């Protein structure tokens, strides 16, 4: 019997050279896969729940941390203490549910909203916060805007601002792993806006042609900065794009941690078994702006957001855990208090680092060894700073 | 010592490096059974299999992007871009990803690879099979840019490039692919990246070129010698890193410099060379530093020989500079 989530193939009766356009057809062919309803009730088959309660609790705590971190950092940006921030409020289940379904040896190729996954992969919270400050504790040595982290020990790669460029990197790494005989599966994230970019098309095409073990996770959060999904793609769903490339596609409730986890795990198992890549469309919503540089009130009526607040992924997991007796009110309070305390403490730790990385780091890592002109340019800059300290002052005209 | 052309030298270098290091892989359009449109990868798939010599779908951005992932994971990919003109669909991947990966990740990751591509005019290719886009990549921090002019250097530089920890753009002068023949040692040897070669010594004027233009410059120098003008000729071989020392020493000796390249003049690499020489040799100069280049037009089809800075135009510049 065909299960709800097995929706990748086009039914035989609809195959043929000529098909009339039927509005809504792909929404029916790619129904939203869900395991937990908004009130926390299990609505999917119990045997599809791949996570024991203890693991759900761990991810719940990570979602709470991710949410608190985002809220706190948005405030910090408003206070002028960090320059920029990209949050993932409302999208935590998509990010953490999918990352948690991967093996530790798998690689993650992030888009720019997945710092929750970086923390899950062991990036120390203090290192992430130092990245936001671009200070001496920043693993990226203050070279990128905030939220462009990389964490090699966790096989979490480096974030680029150009959209979707990481998709073919994921394909290449997974291809390399297969050539080396490793069981590694690559997971890569992008928004629905990213499906407009050429790297999405080339990446999916390359992966499908060679059956490369990649899980493509589209965080369909409804908006690409100010442009709604309908102005980003003519497709009714993102998942249906899988058909054209010759891979499996699945549409998942992106606010349902258990559904995202189960779907990603299935996709991973298929990839590992040599059955090729999967495109997962995680349907979620960006309840805040694209970044702190954005004010969604300019282009989005507030009433669009309200229904999504009711679908909050953290609230849903909380209800699920409470229903199962795995989370008591007092325990939830304790988790939240602990997260608040941790953030406060680590924030102080991060702010204690020197405000800037050392001058010479400007010239490091351009090449494996600095070229002669880079050495000369460092000397030139050092001499300029020594002659006039205003060189290092952001307000250069100040005396 | 066997005689080879540039294509054979490139093929030999790839073969030797693939034998030496199982992580070296080749990918691109038609590189497999067909051996590449210029046959640079001929026979490699037979020896190393389709898993190491990989035909890809037709998408340069995908080829380079995939190579980034392969390099991050520990392979040494050598992607081929069929013609340098088609490198622009991969430009974002090269400039924003390949070049920046080490820097932007604070040195946590790197993606060494060699992007091989035939460049340049003179083969009746029109403007989509003739461009000389080296400047775009020299201008991009994080990349090395290498342009051999002869089979010996092509082999030795390609082996160096494959072993280099940084990404290298390897521009092959396709006009000279089969025309430039020379003795090439069997087995492995390296020509270090970043060392220019003085191919002719002289005192009247320094001529600087790379790739196929070296041949035009060498011809012009020989014709000038018949007129009693002894030119010093430098084959740069590597544009980034640049052998500034050799260049400056030569111009301080001759007091005159002519830079020759086939890319358009404005913001071409000749402009950078002229600026460096002006900064470092100002008091030694007897004449303005002169450029003989392609023009600021797209590359033409019918008038390509007029467009290319060939020996007669170089010779004219030599006469003007020495009599300034």
Mean pLDDT for the stretch of residues B108-124? 97
pLDDT of B15-47, one tens digit each? 999 999 999 999 999 999 999 999 999 999 999
Test A165 with B93 for CB contact under 8 angstroms: yes
Q: Mutation test of the interface with chain A: which of B24, B55, B56, B73, choosing the one with the most A Cβ atoms within 10 A?
A: B73
Mean pLDDT for the stretch of residues A119-135? 98
A174: distance to nearest CA of chain B, Å?
Answer: 8
**pLDDT at position A354, please?**
96
Closest CA to A245 of A276, A221, A267: A276
Mention every residue, 6+ apart, whose C-beta is less than 8 A from residue A322.
A40, A328, A329
Mean pLDDT for the stretch of residues A175-204? 97
**pLDDT at position B280, please?**
98
**pLDDT at position A394, please?**
73
Which of the four pLDDT bands, split at 50, 70 and 90, describes residue A392?
confident
**Topology of the domain comprising A29-351:** Rossmann fold (3.40.50)
Return d(Cα A2, Cα B262) in angstroms, integer: 63
Task: Decide if pLDDT at A396 tops 70.
Answer: no
pLDDT of A105-124, one tens digit each? 999 999 999 999 999 999 99
From A5, A178, A286, A318, the catalytic residue = A286
Q: Is B284 a catalytic residue?
A: no
Return d(Cα A293, Cα A295) in angstroms, integer: 7
Q: Mutation test of the interface with chain A: which of B52, B69, B81, choosing the one with the most A Cβ atoms within 10 A?
A: B69
Mention every residue, 6+ apart, whose C-beta is less than 8 A from residue B279.
none
Query: Quick one: tokens of B282?
Result: 């100002």
Count, in order, helices (H) and strands (E) of chain B: 12, 14
Percentage of residues in chain B having pLDDT higher than 90 = 100
A chain contacts of residue B248, beta-carbon cutoff 8 Å: none
C-alpha dihedral (B172, B176, B180, B183), degrees to nearest 10: 20
pTM of the model: 0.95
Where along chain A do its domains lie?
29-351, 362-392
Test B96 with A179 for CB contact under 8 angstroms: no
From A78, A81, A198, A299, the catalytic residue = A299
From B127, B129, B215, B261, the catalytic residue = B129
Handedness of CA A172, A175, A176, A182 (dihedral sign): positive
CA distances for A216 relative to A110, A275, A279, B53, B289, angstroms = 11, 14, 5, 26, 54
Mean pLDDT, rounded, of chain A: 93
Mean pLDDT for the stretch of residues B100-114? 98
């Amino acid at each position: 019997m065909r299960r709800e989530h097995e929706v990748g193939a086009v039914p035989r009766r609809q195959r043929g050279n000529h098909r009339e356009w039927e509005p809504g057809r792909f929404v029916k062919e790619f129904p939203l896969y869900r395991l937990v309803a908004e009130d926390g009730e299990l609505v999917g088959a119990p045997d599809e729940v791949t996570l024991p309660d203890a693991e759900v609790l761990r991810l719940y705590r990570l979602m709470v941390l991710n949410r608190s971190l985002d809220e706190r950092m948005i405030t910090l940006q408003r206070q002028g203490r960090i320059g920029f921030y990209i949050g993932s409020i409302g999208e935590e289940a998509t990010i953490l549910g999918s990352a948690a379904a991967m093996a530790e040896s798998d690689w993650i190729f992030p888009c720019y909203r997945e710092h929750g996954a970086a923390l899950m992969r062991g990036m120390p919270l203090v290192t992430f916060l130092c990245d936001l400050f671009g200070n001496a504790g920043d693993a990226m040595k203050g070279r990128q805007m905030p939220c462009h982290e990389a964490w090699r020990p966790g096989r979490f790669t480096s974030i680029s601002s150009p959209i979707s460029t990481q998709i073919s990197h994921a394909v290449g790494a997974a291809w390399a792993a297969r050539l080396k005989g490793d069981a590694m599966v690559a997971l890569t994230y992008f928004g629905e806006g990213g499906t407009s970019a050429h790297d999405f098309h080339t990446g999916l095409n390359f992966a499908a042609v060679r059956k490369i073990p990649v899980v493509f996770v589209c965080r369909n959060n409804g908006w690409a900065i100010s442009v709604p999904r309908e102005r980003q793609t003519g497709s009714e769903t993102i998942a249906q794009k899988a058909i054209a490339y010759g891979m499996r596609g699945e549409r998942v409730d992106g606010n349902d941690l258990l559904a995202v986890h189960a779907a990603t795990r299935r996709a991973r198992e298929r990839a590992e078994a040599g059955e090729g890549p999967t495109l997962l469309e995680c349907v979620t919503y960006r309840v805040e702006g694209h970044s702190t540089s954005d004010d969604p009130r300019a282009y989005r009526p507030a009433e669009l957001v309200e229904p999504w607040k009711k679908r909050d992924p953290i609230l849903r997991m909380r209800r699920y855990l409470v229903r199962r007796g795995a989370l008591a009110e007092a325990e939830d309070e304790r988790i939240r208090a602990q997260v608040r305390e941790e953030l406060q403490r680590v924030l102080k730790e991060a702010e204690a680092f020197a405000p800037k990385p050392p001058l010479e780091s400007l010239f490091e890592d351009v090449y494996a060894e600095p070229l002669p002109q880079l050495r000369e340019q460092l000397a030139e800059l050092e001499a300029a700073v020594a002659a006039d300290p205003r060189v290092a002052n952001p307000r250069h005209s100040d005396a | 010592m066997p005689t080879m052309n540039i294509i054979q030298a490139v093929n030999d270098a790839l073969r030797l490096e693939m034998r030496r290091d199982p992580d070296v892989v080749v990918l691109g359009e038609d590189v497999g059974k067909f051996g590449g449109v210029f046959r640079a990868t001929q026979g490699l798939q037979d020896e190393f299999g389709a898993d190491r010599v990989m035909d890809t779908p037709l998408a340069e951005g995908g080829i380079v992007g995939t190579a980034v992932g392969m390099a991050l994971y520990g392979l040494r990919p050598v992607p081929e871009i069929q013609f340098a003109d088609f490198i622009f669909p991969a430009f974002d991947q090269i400039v924003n990803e390949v070049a920046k990966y080490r820097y932007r990740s604070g040195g946590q990751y790197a993606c060494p690879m060699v992007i091989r591509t035939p460049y340049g005019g003179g083969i009746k290719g029109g403007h989509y099979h003739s461009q000389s886009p080296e400047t775009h990549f020299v201008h991009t921090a994080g990349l090395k840019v290498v342009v051999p002019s002869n089979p010996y250097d092509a082999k030795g530089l390609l082996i160096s490039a494959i072993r280099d920890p940084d990404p290298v753009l390897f521009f092959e002068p396709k006009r000279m692919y089969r025309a430039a023949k020379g003795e090439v040692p069997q087995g492995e040897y390296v020509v270090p990246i970043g060392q220019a070669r003085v191919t002719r010594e002289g005192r009247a004027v320094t001529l600087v070129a790379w790739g196929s233009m070296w041949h035009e410059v060498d011809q012009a120098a020989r014709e000038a010698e018949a007129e009693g003008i002894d030119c010093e000729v430098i084959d740069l071989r590597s544009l980034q890193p640049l052998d500034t020392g050799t260049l400056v020493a030569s111009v301080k000796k001759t007091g005159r410099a002519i830079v020759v390249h086939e890319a358009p003049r404005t913001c071409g690499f000749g402009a950078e060379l002229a600026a460096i020489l002006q900064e470092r040799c100002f008091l030694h100069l007897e004449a303005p530093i002169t450029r003989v280049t392609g023009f600021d037009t797209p590359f033409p089809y019918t008038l390509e020989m007029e467009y290319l800075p060939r020996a007669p135009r170089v010779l004219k510049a030599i006469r003007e500079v020495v009599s300034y």
